Structure 1
Amino acid sequence: MYRIVLKETLATAVVKMTVEAPYVARKAKAGQFIILRVHENSERIPLTIADYNREDGLITIIYQVVGKATMDLNNLEEGDFIHDFVGPLGKPSEIEHLKKAIVVGGGVGCAIAYPVVKALAEQNTEVFSVVGFRNKDLVILEEEFASHSDKMVLMSDDGSYGTKGFVTTGLETLLEEHKDIDCVFAIGPIIMMKNVSAVTKKYGVKTVVSMNSIMIDGTGMCGGCRLTVGGETKFACVDGPEFDGHLVDFDEAQSRNNIFKNQPVHNLEEDKDCRLLKEIENVK
């Protein structure tokens, strides 16, 4: 059993939770994830490690309430216990020897982008961040990104906060200003990562994308996170979750992802627990 020591709402239906998990914290690295079960008979769900504290044995996760499993998790409060909390899983981000990097985060994907920024900063890599949100009300982790970035660019689709536009605009500006970027990391919606990869390909800059959003059971057994990378079949949970963005077949990944698009809402409706259905629809 794993005790919840902190719970904080960051934005609409987006929650940060810190959990006592010393064995996970001891080995955790940026880019990896955990699998949890809220109760003994609950669904297993993978969530990326948003932060970790080895000294205190704490793991931070950030999740969006989009279905029954995350709703059950969200019903827990500080002092309550999560039944299973397994990890770290997946391959960590490959950041060694990078002198200059850009990390691009979109929406809730910023929760996954942040530990990469932090890890880069801790190894003295010059790191620039581009973070994007639909509007001001959905902004998360602004201070955290700013404190670990040599420069942070914040974009919003509607111009209600930061600079109006998409993350690709902020990214291209940085690529024009800095011709010696070693790697770009992009984490967010599939369409965002596809567009980021298209931009970086023009500049000939190595690009790494995180396909965590298509994972389901996190073991490679269900096949739900299957994708094509460089013409080969890969599984996001066991071969990734990070891959070369210039080799990923994003159209195939998006098509397969759409198969499950409405499943979280159906699960809630079947459970006759629709308290957050309106909020969920608003943040899609």
Structure 2
Amino acid sequence: MNKILEKEHFSEKVVKLVVEAPEIAKSRKAGHFVIVRACEHGERIPLTIADADTELGTITLVVQNVGTSSGKICALNPGEYLTDVVGPLGQATHIENYGTVVCCGGGVGVAPLLPIIKAMKQAGNRVITVLAARTKDLIILEKQCAEYSDEVIIMTDDGSYGNKGLVTEGVENVILREKVNLVVTIGPAIMMKFVALTTKKHEI
């Protein structure tokens, strides 16, 4: 059983939970995830570890309410418990000093991107972060990303915040103005596809 210590609504459907998990907090790396169950007969849901605090022994999870099981997790409040939190799992993201790294995230994809941004910065890279969403209300973790980025560029489909346009436009503008050594992208599959096509065009 893992106690929920904090809860914050990023939007109507997206919730941030800070959960007690000291052993996971100690050993997790950028790119790792956990398997979570809300209750005894709940579905097993994979969630990326968005952040961790080794001193407090906590991990941060960002959950999008898309169905019954994720809805149960989103409905939990501070003081209540997750039945299971298993991890860290998966293969950690390879981190090294590449030079200039563009990290771009769409919607809730920003949650798994945050630890990569942090690790890339700590490895000595120049980090430019491009955050994208349909509208201003769906941009998450901007302040936390800014803490470890040399620059943050915001792209919204409707122009309600930052620059009007798609994430690929934000990425390409950076590529055209300076040398970029690596691009990391996490978000909807269609977004990642077009970011990959953009980088392929520029041989990055």
- TM more than 0.5: yes
Q: Which has the higher contact order (CA 8 A, sep 6+)?
A: 2
Q: Which residue of 1 aligns with 2:178?
A: 178
Rounded to whole Å, the distance in 1 between the matches of 2:104 and 2:147 is: 16
Rounded to whole Å, the distance in 1 between the matches of 2:74 and 2:202 is: 42
Q: Which residue of 1 aligns with 2:201?
A: 202
Q: Once structures 1 and 2 are overlaid, which stretch shifts more, 113-122 or 157-166?
A: 113-122
**In the TM superposition, what is the alpha-carbon distance from 1:188 to its structure 2 partner?**
0.1
Q: Which residue of 2 aligns with 1:119?
A: 119
Q: Which residue of 1 aligns with 2:28?
A: 28
Rounded to whole Å, the distance in 2 between the matches of 1:12 and 1:161 is: 18
Rounded to whole Å, the distance in 2 between the matches of 1:86 and 1:54 is: 17
Rounded to whole Å, the distance in 1 between the matches of 2:170 and 2:56 is: 36
**In the TM superposition, what is the alpha-carbon distance from 1:44 to its structure 2 partner?**
0.4
CA RMSD after TM alignment: 0.9
Rounded to whole Å, the distance in 2 between the matches of 1:53 and 1:99 is: 27
Q: Once structures 1 and 2 are overlaid, which stretch shifts more, 92-101 or 165-174?
A: 92-101
**Which structure would you say has the larger Rg?**
1
Where do 1:10-21 residues align within 5 Å? Answer: 10-21=10-21
In structure 1, runs of 5+ residues without a counterpart are 206-284
Where do 1:20-59 residues align within 5 Å? Answer: 20-59=20-59
**In the TM superposition, what is the alpha-carbon distance from 1:104 to its structure 2 partner?**
0.6
**In the TM superposition, what is the alpha-carbon distance from 1:122 to its structure 2 partner?**
2.0
Rounded to whole Å, the distance in 1 between the matches of 2:81 and 2:49 is: 18
Specify the SS of the correspondent of 1:171: helix
Rounded to whole Å, the distance in 1 between the matches of 2:121 and 2:52 is: 15
**In the TM superposition, what is the alpha-carbon distance from 1:56 to its structure 2 partner?**
1.5
Q: Do the aligned partners of 2:129 and 2:145 also contact (CA within 8 Å) in 1?
A: yes
Q: Where does structure 1 differ by over 3 angstroms across 4 or more consecutive aligned residues?
A: none
Q: State the Cα deviation string for residues 37-60 of structure 1 (Å, max 9, x = none).
A: 111111101001110111221100
Q: Determine if the alignment matches structure 1 residue 166 to structure 2 residue 170.
A: no
TM-score, normalised via structure 2 length: 0.97
Q: Number of paired residues?
A: 204
In structure 2, runs of 5+ residues without a counterpart are none
Where do 1:1-284 residues align within 5 Å? Answer: 1-179=1-179, 181-205=180-204
Specify the SS of the correspondent of 2:47: strand
> Match for 2:146: what amino acid?
A
Specify the SS of the correspondent of 2:10: strand
> Match for 1:10: what amino acid?
F
TM-score, normalised via structure 1 length: 0.70
Q: Do the aligned partners of 2:64 and 2:74 also contact (CA within 8 Å) in 1?
A: no
Q: State the Cα deviation string for residues 18-54 of structure 1 (Å, max 9, x = none).
A: 1000111111111110001111111101001110111
**In the TM superposition, what is the alpha-carbon distance from 1:82 to its structure 2 partner?**
0.7
